[in-house]
Structure 1
């Protein structure tokens, strides 16, 4: 029965889910129309919101390109390849490969979401080369489902933000330590449930051998082949200079040590990308090898470059028109002290489809949700994490965050989102119950 449901979901998505670029164009028109219908905005006002916000994610878009590129370069270094290959050999069957890639990507995403997105996809490629008969689409989908736990982990943008002095809601809720959010009992129980349930669900979705989508392991290995070293020109000596690369690497390591030890710096997207870049330079050894891998990684960044401005425009229309606030208020109106975390979670999941940015979504929903939660006597930490989990949840439906993994895998969104839809439903039930009843 479960396999039949999975097959139906895969067929549905393959038939009707367009390319992510088409998806974002349709989403733009839906939000444009909704702003006029539900918020009485004029067409000119909606176009103005869209145009003014179109470039609002330039910095974030570049950060995401670097997450993909630097993560790919680091994980493609000889050392990481050996580590991933060694881990891949632990899987002796297709079922074990699905479970292993899910657990590894979840662990990586819990540490840092950008790291998890890249490591999960690259590990899936290694498994596809080692384990015969594993479905490549489900393998990549399983790697992406690890992304579900990121907002309950160490890089949770909401959990870290409200624990930081000077955050925008401090006058309302004060400083909430991570012991009450990321490391609270209800959040850790939710993370544990995800680590147990999602690998099992992914394993149960394995198709029969006759429907398995396989890739040629030799083709994947060829794509990852290290280029030959040339020393035909004087300039080649510089391009292959290990000393030059390591000198820059040492500078980077000194900065990282100073940042964490002297300044007590915390993890953020910029420092993660910087660390990925520096370790990539060091581990590739020669600048020529680093550049060759970098050029390969950049090929997959086109979807991010073109789609992020459109999502910035959608976010601007949602926020400036009042649509995001209206959605949140609608859920608040039907809540009581027991159901409020559940409805906060559901509202965040819906808003995330249109505003796929944890920090941006919190800026929209925090004033509404925190005030409503306070009136109902709901702890602010639980309210914040309900929004955080809702933001992470519908990433299984929204192809925005799958772009880096798809670029690395060489697949399209329709190839994996049918499996993600099943995970969306099951994880949503578990998350909703956990936020409502876990102590």
Structure 2
């Protein structure tokens, strides 16, 4: 009986789209720092058109350059705390077990996407590092998996649902009076999390976006000889986890003892108990509380101060680009405000809005502005005053406005390399490696998000401000 040779299966349309976009991004997509400079140039040209002189633009940029230093440090600690937890022995062992599940290239990409998004509901910083380590482990086991598709899948939490979860910058800010500027509080009052991330409408968006993202990953991931593996790209992954030796002299013994860790964890835990007892578990949630909680969890998981410090030292390089680039985006914010571009956008936004078109317009506007100000928390401070004022005039639920912002603000993250930085650091890749498959996700997510925030908005009644 003659041996029958099976014809090679041709890539489907999703695979061809993903591959084409990946090849394009590898050739044309700039580094994250260059992307930031492009944004400065674009906003500066617009400011010149508004009548600002080069000297005024320079002053606007420079005087605001250090304006987001506290937020920059908070974001850096989100990365550090997430890294520390993800690189602990218990979590590393869990990741290694999880990595044994997928057996096919397509299944591996979809699998990583699912866990990346679920992890982002807890913390976007943890999601990036957790996904990066999971990707490295999966790559070792599934030899023909495309590392570009895998990396884009690991980045999905930041491009889809992170802001609908517990680390939502806008949601946490609006739930706590002390976190809001006084002028913003006068407009909206406190908007509790029960009106934002804990609504059933928000849950529907989470479920739909997870299902959509996983499906896109599965059907677009290259298979067989069409894959570009980490090995073929010259990327090698060493061992994960933290390796420490033993104390070699008496002075080093405290570094390896869990006693000091227990003391600091108890002190931090007592503070959290007091904070939660005074404010409640939901109102107590903010970026500082999150970072402290994750750091304490990291200390517990690493046990000894030595292991914890080694993990922190390994995490710090992943924050380098954040520390360098966040001030640039703060300068962009200064140019927007100083030139009056923000006022022009506000007036246009209010003039074209009605109660029926408000939701999709907010979504489109927030997504577009996100390309220039890629910061969920800082950008919300810019948008919130006039968006919430318009919502109040239209008797539109302000809690749902926050969720519209959260869902739409994440869209530009798909192709903005700024938020890819921590994952790129773990994987050892460039933004151009991930952008192609991420852009494919953006194509499908954009209409789905706009339609969902529009339709679900009809199910939420107007609620007066809670002063």
TM-score normalized with structure 1 length: 0.92
Shift of 1:55: 0.6
Aligned counterparts of 2:113 and 2:73: Cα–Cα separation in 1: 27
Shift of 1:193: 0.9
How large is the RMSD of aligned CA atoms in angstroms? 2.4
CA contact (8 A) 1:327 1:351 kept: no
Please identify, of 403-412 and 383-392, the stretch whose mean Cα deviation from structure 2 is larger.
Answer: 383-392
Residue number in structure 1 paired with 2:53: 42
Residue number in structure 1 paired with 2:339: 321
Shift of 1:115: 2.7
Point out where structure 2 has 5 or more consecutive residues left out of the alignment.
1-12, 460-467
Q: 1:119 aligns with which of 112, 125, 130?
A: 130
Q: Does 1:142 align with 2:157?
A: no
Larger helix fraction of residues? 1
Q: 1:51 aligns with which of 62, 69, 72?
A: 62
- Structure 1 residues 152, 211: closer, same or farther in 2, change over 3 A? same
CA contact (8 A) 1:12 1:418 kept: yes
CA contact (8 A) 2:196 2:399 kept: yes
Shift of 1:214: 2.3
Residue number in structure 1 paired with 2:199: 184
Shift of 1:420: 1.0
Shift of 1:262: 5.4
CA contact (8 A) 2:89 2:241 kept: no
Aligned counterparts of 2:189 and 2:249: Cα–Cα separation in 1: 62
Please identify, of 369-378 and 318-327, the stretch whose mean Cα deviation from structure 2 is larger.
Answer: 369-378
Aligned counterparts of 1:276 and 1:216: Cα–Cα separation in 2: 34
Residue number in structure 1 paired with 2:308: 290
Q: 1:194 aligns with which of 195, 209, 212?
A: 209
Matches within 5 A, 1:166-177: 167=180, 168-177=183-192
2:30 match: secondary structure:
coil
Matches within 5 A, 1:6-405: 6-37=18-49, 39-147=50-158, 148-165=160-177, 167=180, 168-215=183-230, 222-224=238-240, 226-261=242-277, 264=280, 266-405=284-423
Aligned counterparts of 2:392 and 2:280: Cα–Cα separation in 1: 33
CA contact (8 A) 1:332 1:344 kept: no
Aligned counterparts of 2:315 and 2:189: Cα–Cα separation in 1: 42
Shift of 1:339: 2.0
Shift of 1:328: 4.0
1:224 match: secondary structure:
coil
1:333-354, Cα deviation, whole Å (9 max, x unpaired): 3333322211111111111111
1:213-240, Cα deviation, whole Å (9 max, x unpaired): 32359x8663425435143333332332
Shift of 1:202: 1.3
Q: 1:409 aligns with which of 407, 427, 431?
A: 427
Runs of 4+ aligned residues of structure 1 deviating over 4 Å after TM superposition are: none
Shift of 1:59: 1.5
1:59-110, Cα deviation, whole Å (9 max, x unpaired): 2222222222222122111111112122222223222222222222212212
Please identify, of 27-36 and 104-113, the stretch whose mean Cα deviation from structure 2 is larger.
Answer: 104-113
CA contact (8 A) 1:129 1:220 kept: no
CA contact (8 A) 1:138 1:419 kept: yes
Shift of 1:52: 0.6
Residues paired across the two proteins, number: 438
Residue number in structure 1 paired with 2:452: 434
CA contact (8 A) 2:82 2:127 kept: no
Please identify, of 394-403 and 257-266, the stretch whose mean Cα deviation from structure 2 is larger.
Answer: 257-266
Aligned counterparts of 2:102 and 2:335: Cα–Cα separation in 1: 47
CA contact (8 A) 2:15 2:220 kept: yes
1:243 match: secondary structure:
helix
Aligned counterparts of 2:192 and 2:293: Cα–Cα separation in 1: 26
Shift of 1:417: 1.0
Shift of 1:24: 0.9
Shift of 1:406: 1.3
Please identify, of 183-192 and 313-322, the stretch whose mean Cα deviation from structure 2 is larger.
Answer: 183-192
Please identify, of 151-160 and 340-349, the stretch whose mean Cα deviation from structure 2 is larger.
Answer: 151-160
